[in-house]
Amino acid sequence: MESVQAIKQRFGIIGNTPALNRAIEKAIQVAPTDISVLVTGESGVGKESIPKIIHQLSHRKHNKYIAVNCGAIPEGTIDSELFGHEKGAFTGATQTRSGYFEEADGGTIFLDEVGELPLTTQVRLLRVLENGEFLKVGSSKVQKTNVRIVAATNVNMFEAIQKEKFREDLFYRLSTVDINLPPLRERQEDIHLLFRKFASDFALKYKMPTVKLSENAVQLLVKYRWSGNIRQLRNIAEQLSVLEQNRTVSAETLRNYLPTTGNNLPAVIKQTKAESDFSSEREILYKVLFDMKSDLNDLKKLTMELMKNGNTKDVEKNNESLIQKIYGNPTNDDIAFEEHDDNESDFLSIPEHTTPPVIENESITDKYHFAEEIEEEETLSLQDKELELIKKSLERHNGKRKLAAAELGISERTLYRKIKQYDL
Ligand SMILES: Nc1ncnc2c1ncn2[C@@H]1O[C@H](COP(=O)(O)OP(=O)(O)O)[C@@H](O)[C@H]1O
Ligand SMILES: [Mg+2]
């Protein structure tokens, strides 16, 4: 078995981070089997070398290796690209064509950005993975193929499954073995190494002396977030190699090449920022809750006072500060409203009761219950409201789900799920 170092040399892979070595080791181990492999990692981390390693170290290496970027093929043609089509299957299908699964028989197919596959294609793919069978588009003749699949994705597949964009059964089929490549920001010891390699490649390519980084520039490079990972680092090395007259690049110069917007803020700053964002959001929520609680207490106090004494001027006077606190100062709008309402110019309008009701009085207890009922009604759970909306919409459309789904702004599939969930 070839060593990790030898493989790195053979496939031009730079770096020595344990996570990278582990990923390569895993690829070497699974290569001789036919196990499906899912390569995961952010965009630009170097996922494309893994299926190449797997193919080259397998018994399939003399047969075809086909790399397909699932995200780049239009939805309308992907089935035909992968599985071929019969003559006349659709407008423009003037002759029978074989797809990648037929061509790569005995070899390996790399499905890059597999998370982008349309659901209908996912069904076909599942069938090939399960028993090697597939149908050309427009054909009913089952064909057989023997293809090893390596797939890659930079999207969170669990999220895709949850959103019903990716089939769970297919996911488990594809990811018998998962090989994860870490983002560059987690491979800080490799960053300068990679930069030096790229700088020397571009020096050769453009026939110029190699660009170097000052010590501070190296620090900046290592701390940067690299949301585009190795692909982005390579681009920046190329730009510097071509554009910088001074072949020793300072931190100030380098900074001009590093975007500081979006996800590309330096890693450290980004992390603390995200944390403080979260905690300040939480703080605001706490504050709102505390304020609400305190308002509620004030209101309780005031209500008690009103129940005891009725809405007399005394109550208003004794609780002036409380009333101010709860209702604030009148704004111009409030005053205008009050004037229009023909009330007294006093901004506070607590309903007038001339005779002070007595506590324990039945009418009060009644009112109290009534108030509680309203409150309960208002806190009807969201689920109940949703159920109500769905029911009404279905009634309006005589049970036609398509129309109801359109009215509710959800997919038919989601509506179907909800109908099952609520047992409608
Ligand atoms: N470890 C590495 N050493 C050298 N070059 C690398 C390494 N990893 C990735 N690259 C280069 O970075 C670029 C992006 O890699 P790629 O495999 O296309 O990323 P992904 O498929 O994960 O988006 C390619 O030019 C690739 O050659
Ligand atoms: Mg890629």
pLDDT digits (tens, 9 = 90+) for 309-324: 777 777 777 777 777 7
3 state DSSP class of 197: helix
CA distances from 175 to 147, 150, 182, 379 (A): 15, 9, 17, 44
225 lines ligand 1 (CB under 6 A): no
Q: Distance between CA atoms of 229 and 155, rounded to whole angstroms?
A: 15
182: left (phi over 0), alpha (psi -120 to 50) or beta: beta
44 lines ligand 1 (CB under 6 A): yes
β-pairing, 133-135 vs 142-144, is antiparallel
230 lines ligand 1 (CB under 6 A): yes
Is residue 27 within 8 Å of residue 48, measured between CB atoms?
A: no
233 lines ligand 1 (CB under 6 A): no
Tokens of 24: 């390569």
196 lines ligand 1 (CB under 6 A): no
Tokens of 293: 């609680």
Cα 106 to middle of ligand 1, angstroms: 27
Per-residue tens of pLDDT for the chain, all 424 residues:
689 999 999 999 999 999 999 999 999 999 999 999 999 999 999 999 999 999 999 999 999 999 999 999 999 999 999 999 999 988 889 999 999 999 999 999 999 999 999 999 999 999 999 999 999 999 999 999 999 999 999 999 999 999 999 999 999 999 999 999 999 999 999 999 999 999 999 999 999 999 999 999 999 999 999 999 999 999 999 999 999 999 999 999 999 999 886 566 555 433 333 433 344 444 445 545 656 666 777 788 778 878 877 777 777 777 777 777 666 654 443 333 333 333 333 333 333 344 444 444 444 444 444 443 434 444 456 677 788 888 888 888 888 888 888 888 788 888 888 888 888 7
Q: Distance between CA atoms of 174 and 37, rounded to whole angstroms?
A: 6
184 lines ligand 1 (CB under 6 A): no
Is residue 54 within 8 Å of residue 30, measured between CB atoms?
A: yes
Give the ligand at the shortest distance from the Cα of 42: 1
CA distances from 364 to 22, 302, 353, 381 (A): 73, 15, 13, 28
Whole-prediction pTM: 0.65
β-pairing, 248-249 vs 37-40, is unpaired
Cα 39 to middle of ligand 1, angstroms: 13
38 backbone dihedrals φ, ψ, rounded to 5°: -115, 120
228 lines ligand 1 (CB under 6 A): no
8 lines ligand 1 (CB under 6 A): no
Cα 47 to middle of ligand 2, angstroms: 6
Cα 48 to middle of ligand 2, angstroms: 6
Q: What residue type is 411 in one-letter code?
A: S
Cα 213 to middle of ligand 2, angstroms: 28
Q: Distance between CA atoms of 177 and 155, rounded to whole angstroms?
A: 17
Cα 244 to middle of ligand 1, angstroms: 24
pLDDT per residue over 238-277, tens digit each? 999 999 999 999 999 999 999 886 566 555 433 333 433 3
201 lines ligand 1 (CB under 6 A): no
pLDDT of residue 236: 97
**Ligand 1: which atom is nearest the Cα of residue 42?**
22
48 lines ligand 1 (CB under 6 A): yes
Name which residue sits closest to atom 9 of ligand 1, judged by CA: 46
pLDDT of residue 229: 97
Rounded to 10°, the helix 382-396/412-422 angle is: 110
Starting at the edge strand found earlier in the chain, the sheet holding 65-69 runs 65-69, 108-112, 148-153, 37-40, 177-180
**Ligand 1: which atom is nearest the Cα of residue 14?**
3
Tokens of 62: 């003399």
Which of 10, 48, 192 for a ligand 1 pocket mutation test, highest count of atoms within 8 Å of Cβ?
48
Q: What residue type is 8 in one-letter code?
A: K
Cα 232 to middle of ligand 1, angstroms: 10
β-pairing, 212-213 vs 248-249, is parallel
**Ligand 1: which atom is nearest the Cα of residue 41?**
22
Cα 323 to middle of ligand 1, angstroms: 66
- Which DSSP category does 258 fall into? S
Cα 69 to middle of ligand 2, angstroms: 8
8 backbone dihedrals φ, ψ, rounded to 5°: -60, -45
Cα 57 to middle of ligand 1, angstroms: 19
117 lines ligand 1 (CB under 6 A): no
Is residue 264 within 8 Å of residue 42, measured between CB atoms?
A: no
